[in-house]
Amino acid sequence: MADRYALITGASSGIGAEFARQLAAQGVHLALVARNEERLNALRAEIRATFPVAVEVLPADLSEESGMAGVVTFIQALPGLDYLINNAGFGTTDLFAESDIDRQLRMVAVHVNATLRLCRAALPRMIERGSGAIINVASVSAFGPTPHSPTYSASKAALVNFSRGLQSELRGTGVRVQALCPGFTRTHFHDGEEFKGFRQERLPDFMWLRADGVVRDSLRALRLGGPVVVVPGWFYRLAVTFIQTPVGRFLLEAVSG
Ligand SMILES: NC(=O)c1ccc[n+]([C@@H]2O[C@H](COP(=O)([O-])OP(=O)(O)OC[C@H]3O[C@@H](n4cnc5c(N)ncnc54)[C@H](OP(=O)(O)O)[C@@H]3O)[C@@H](O)[C@H]2O)c1
C-alpha cells in the first residue's frame, strides 16, 4: 500500500493528539500542528516509540496570518494529503458585550479562517488524486444558541455548513468531508483560566465523552462512507435530533433566554 499522510491541527492535546495516535496505528505518516512545540515533540516521541511512521512537528499559531501561511506552504510542498484534520480550537465563557474582541476574532481565525485556508491548500491535490478526507472538528454547540459563547457556536455552525456545502461540491471526486460534532469531551479544553467557573463535576458522567471514542467514531464513519455530520455518543445524537424539531427549538430558545 502507498504511504499515507495526515496533517492534524491542534495535535498537542486532546482530540487532535488522539487522531494522531489512531492514524499512526494505521500506519499513516503525520504532520502535527499547534503552538506548544514541547508537547508536539513529546507526542512525536511517544508515537515514534510505538509505530513505524514519520512524524513532522510544525509549531504554528493559527490565529496569526504568518502561522496559517506557514502551514499552507508546508501542504503545498507535499505530494498530497490523505487526511486533513482541522481540529485546533478553544472556547471563551465571558459575555460577548464584555469580551476581549481580539480574542473573539482570534477564535474565528483559528476555527474558520485556518480551516478554509488549509482546505483550499489541500484540495487541488486531493481532487487530482481522486481521494482524501477532510475532517473539520465542530461541536454540538453548532446546533443551538449558546449564551456565554455565541462566537464559539457561530464559528462551529460555520464549519458544519461549510463542510456540508463543500461535500456537495466535491461529489464524484473521491474526496470526503466530515464535520465532527462532539459534545463535552474530557480533554484540556475546559482546564484553562477561562473555564475556572465551570464546575465539570456537576455534569453527569454520561454527558462526558472520551477523546479516543470521539476519534474512533469519526474514523469509523469515514471508513463506512457515513454522513457529513457526525455526532459521537448516543446522548448527543438524541439531543441534536431533538433540538432540530419544532418542540426542541422552542424549548432551547426558552431555556437560553
Ligand atoms: N472538549 C470538548 O468538550 C469539545 C467539545 C466540542 C468540540 N470540541 C472541539 O474539539 C477541538 C479540540 O479540542 P480539545 O477538546 O481536544 O481541547 P484541547 O485539549 O484544549 O486541545 C485544543 C488544541 O487546539 C490547539 N490550539 C488552540 N489554539 C490554537 C492556535 N491559536 N493555533 C494553533 N493551535 C491552537 C491547542 O494547541 P496549543 O495550545 O499547543 O496551540 C490544542 O492542541 C476544538 O476545536 C474544540 O472546539 C471540544
Mean pLDDT of 45-55: 97
Q: Ligand 1, residue 186: give the atom nearest the CA.
A: 1
| Residue whose CA is at the smallest distance from ligand 1 atom 16 | 14
Mean pLDDT of 49-56: 97
Instruction: Give 91 Cα–ligand 1 centroid separation in angstroms.
Output: 8
Count of domains for the chain: 1
Is the confidence at residue 256, as pLDDT, over 80? no
Instruction: Give 250 Cα–ligand 1 centroid separation in angstroms.
Output: 31
Best mutation site among 22, 35, 140 for ligand 1, i.e. most ligand atoms within 8 A of its Cβ?
35
The phi and psi torsions of 214 (rounded to 5 degrees) equal -60, -45
**Cα torsion for 29, 31, 36, 38, to the nearest 10°?**
40
Each residue of 212-230: pLDDT tens digit?
Answer: 999 999 999 999 999 999 9
Q: Is the dihedral of CA 120, 126, 130, 136 positive or negative?
A: negative
Q: 83 an active-site residue?
A: no
Mean pLDDT of 225-254: 89
Best mutation site among 189, 190, 207 for ligand 1, i.e. most ligand atoms within 8 A of its Cβ?
189
Mean pLDDT of 16-30: 98
What is the reported pLDDT for 194? 81
Distance CA 257, CA 236 (A): 22
- Are 15 and 215 in contact, with CB atoms under 8 Å apart? yes
Each residue of 163-193: pLDDT tens digit?
Answer: 999 999 999 999 999 999 999 999 999 988 8
What is the reported pLDDT for 257? 58
Least confident of 65-79, 97-111, 119-133, 240-254: 240-254
- Look up residue 225 and give its three cell numbers: 462512507
- End-to-end Cα distance, the chain: 54
Give the three-state DSSP class for 30. Answer: strand
Q: What is the CATH number of the domain that holds 190?
A: 3.40.50.720
- Please give the share of the chain, as a percent, with pLDDT higher than 70: 99
Domain that holds residue 28: 5-255
Say if residue 77 is exposed, middle or buried (CB neighbours under 10 Å; 0-12, 13-18, 19+). exposed
Mean pLDDT of 104-113: 98
Model confidence at 197, pLDDT cuts 50, 70, 90, reads: confident
Instruction: Give 87 Cα–ligand 1 centroid separation in angstroms.
Output: 7
User: What is the average pLDDT value for the chain, to the nearest integer?
Assistant: 94
| Residue whose CA is at the smallest distance from ligand 1 atom 28 | 89
Encoded amino acid at 181, one letter:
C
Distance CA 26, CA 10 (A): 20
Q: Ligand 1, residue 182: give the atom nearest the CA.
A: 6
